[in-house]
C-alpha cells in the first residue's frame, strides 16, 4: 500500500516518528518472539492453559484420524525420510517422530532430515531425541557431553541444558526427552549415573534448572520417568518392574523433582512403566488413571502433555500388545504414545482410531489429548496440521 506524503513539514516529522516507532515495535516483537537463545524463555508457559480439558481452537478443525494422529510419535529406520512417514505427517496422522542413533549421521544430514520431516508435516512435527548426556546422547555433536550424575550445581545443569537446547534447535529438533527426574535412592539403582546426584531436594533443584535451561535454549524438555523409577534395580525396557515403596515415601522422595519440574513449567512429563502397588496395585504407571489423573494432574497440578515411555518396553508387552497398551494409556490419561519400533506406528494408530470410533468416552479422551498436543506445538512455534480435505 502506498502513502501520499503530507506537504506540511510538521506533519512529515510526525509521520516519520510514527513510522520509526512502528519499526521499533516490529523489531522488538520479532526479538521477543525469536525462539533460540531468548533469555526470558523462548517457549510459552506450560501452565495457565486451563485444566487441560479445554479445546485448543484448531482441534475442532481436525478430522478424527488427525486427532488420533496427534497422540502418536512414530519411529523409522535410516537417515532419510521413508515414504510412509512422509504420508503420515502430510496427512496430519502422526504428531511427529522420535529419532535414534541410526537416524543420525552428521550435522548436515540431520538438518536435512529434520527439514524434510517438517516440510512433509507443514511445519507441524514434534521431533524428539534422548539427549541426556553421558551414554544417553543420540546426537553426538550436541550438548550435553557429561552425564547428569556428574552435575551437582544447578547453574551448571542450566548452562548445559541451555546449550543442549541451542544445539538441538539448530539441528531442527524441538523436544528433548530429558531431564531424568528420578532420585537414585537405592544401591544399584537403574538410573544411577543418569539421574542427578544427591537427595530429593538436591535433585529437584537440578531438574528445575535443566527445565529452565532447555526452554532458554529453544526446545521443550521432558521430566521422566513419572512417578519415579529411582528405587528400581531393573530397567522397564528389559523387564517387568514393581516398586514396593510406601506411598508416603513416594510422596517425599520420588515426587519431589517432578513437583520442581512442574513449578519450572516443564512442557512434557514422561510416564514410566513400573508397577506401584501403593498407588495402583493393578496397572503400571503409564496405564494408571489413579497415577496419571490422580497424582500427576490433580495432586501435582500438571496441565501439560503426558508422554509415555517406549510402548515396546518389556514391562508393557509382557502385559499386552503394544496397540492394546496404547488404548489403556490413553484411557488412563496419557496424551502422547511413544512408539520406538518402526513397525508399531500403524497398528497403534489403527487401534486407537478403532476405539475412538467405537467409544464416545474414548473419543472425548482423544480430543482432550490432541488439544494438549496442539497447545504444545503452538508453544514451540509449530503449526497445527492442515485440516483434512
DSSP 138: S
**Looking at residue 58, what is its pLDDT?**
82
Helix (H, G, I), strand (E, B) or coil at 298: helix
Mean pLDDT (the chain) is: 89
- DSSP state letters, 167-220: HHHHTT--EE---B-----STT-TTTTTSPSSSHHHHHHHHHHHHHHHHHHTSB
What phi and psi, each to the nearest 5 degrees, are found at residue 13?
A: -65, -40
What's the predicted TM-score (pTM) here?
Answer: 0.88
Q: Is the pLDDT of residue 36 over 60?
A: no
What Å distances lie between residue 119 and 166, 374, 376, CA to CA? 21, 18, 19
User: Do residues 226 and 296 lie in contact, with contact meaning Cβ atoms separated by under 8 Å?
Assistant: yes
Find how far residue 172's CA is from the centre of its chain: 15
CATH superfamily of this structure's domain 49-379: Glycoside hydrolase, family 3, N-terminal domain (3.20.20.300)
Q: Is the pLDDT of residue 385 over 60?
A: yes
DSSP 293: I
What percentage of the chain carries pLDDT values higher than 90? 84
H helices of the chain, where?
9-33, 64-69, 83-90, 107-121, 154-170, 200-217, 247-249, 256-263, 289, 314-317, 322-332, 345-358, 360-379
> Which of 286, 360, 362 has the alpha carbon at shortest distance from 319?
286
> Which of 316, 252, 258 has the alpha carbon at shortest distance from 278?
252
**Looking at residue 118, what is its pLDDT?**
98
pLDDT in tens, 349-364: 999 999 999 999 999 9
pLDDT in tens, 327-340: 999 999 999 999 99
Q: Which residue has the cell 496422522?
A: 93
**Looking at residue 389, what is its pLDDT?**
77
Amino acid at each position: 500500500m502506498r502513502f501520499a506524503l503530507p506537504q506540511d513539514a510538521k506533519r512529515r516529522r510526525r509521520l516519520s516518528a510514527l513510522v520509526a516507532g512502528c519499526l521499533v515495535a516490529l523489531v522488538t516483537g520479532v526479538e521477543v518472539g525469536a525462539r533460540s537463545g531468548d533469555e526470558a524463555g523462548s517457549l510459552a508457559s506450560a501452565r495457565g492453559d486451563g485444566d487441560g480439558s479445554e479445546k485448543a481452537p484448531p482441534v475442532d478443525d481436525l478430522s478424527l484420524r488427525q486427532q488420533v494422529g496427534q497422540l502418536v510419535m512414530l519411529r523409522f529406520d535410516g537417515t532419510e525420510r521413508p515414504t510412509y512417514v512422509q504420508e503420515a505427517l502430510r496427512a496430519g496422522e502422526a504428531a511427529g517422530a522420535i529419532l535414534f542413533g541410526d537416524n543420525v549421521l552428521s550435522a548436515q544430514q540431520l538438518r536435512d532430515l529434520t527439514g524434510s520431516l517438517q516440510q512433509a508435516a507443514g511445519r507441524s512435527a514434534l521431533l524428539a531425541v534422548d539427549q541426556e548426556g553421558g551414554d544417553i546422547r543420540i546426537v553426538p555433536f550436541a550438548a550435553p557431553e557429561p552425564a547428569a550424575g556428574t552435575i551437582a550445581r544447578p547453574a551448571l545443569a542450566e548452562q548445559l541444558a541451555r546449550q543442549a537446547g541451542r544445539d538441538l534447535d539448530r539441528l531442527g529438533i524441538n523436544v528433548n526427552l530429558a531431564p531424568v527426574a528420578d532420585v537414585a535412592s537405592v544401591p544399584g539403582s537403574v538410573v544411577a549415573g543418569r539421574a542427578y546426584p544427591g537427595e530429593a531436594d538436591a535433585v529437584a533443584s537440578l531438574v528445575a534448572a535443566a527445565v529452565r535451561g532447555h526452554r532458554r535454549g529453544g526446545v521443550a524438555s521432558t521430566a521422566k520417568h513419572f512417578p519415579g523409577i529411582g528405587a528400581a534395580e531393573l530397567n522397564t525396557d528389559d523387564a517387568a518392574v514393581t516398586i514396593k515403596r510406601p506411598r508416603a515415601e513416594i510422596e517425599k522422595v520420588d515426587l519431589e523433582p517432578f513437583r520442581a519440574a512442574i513449578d519450572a513449567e516443564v512442557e512434557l512429563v514422561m510416564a514410566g512403566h513400573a508397577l506401584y502397588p501403593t498407588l495402583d496395585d493393578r496397572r503400571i504407571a503409564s496405564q494408571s488413571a489413579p497415577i496419571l489423573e490422580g497424582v500427576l494432574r490433580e495432586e501435582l497440578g500438571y496441565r501439560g502433555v503426558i508422554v509415555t515411555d517406549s510402548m515396546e518396553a518389556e514391562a508393557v508387552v509382557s502385559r499386552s500388545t503394544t496397540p492394546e497398551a496404547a488404548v489403556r494409556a490413553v484411557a488412563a490419561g496419557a496424551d502422547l504414545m511413544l512408539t520406538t519400533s518402526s513397525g508399531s506406528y500403524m497398528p497403534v494408530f489403527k487401534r486407537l482410531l478403532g476405539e475412538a470410533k467405537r467409544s464416545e468416552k474414548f473419543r472425548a479422551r482423544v480430543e482432550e489429548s490432541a488439544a494438549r498436543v496442539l497447545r504444545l506445538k503452538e508453544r514451540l512455534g509449530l503449526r497445527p496440521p492442515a485440516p483434512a480435505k
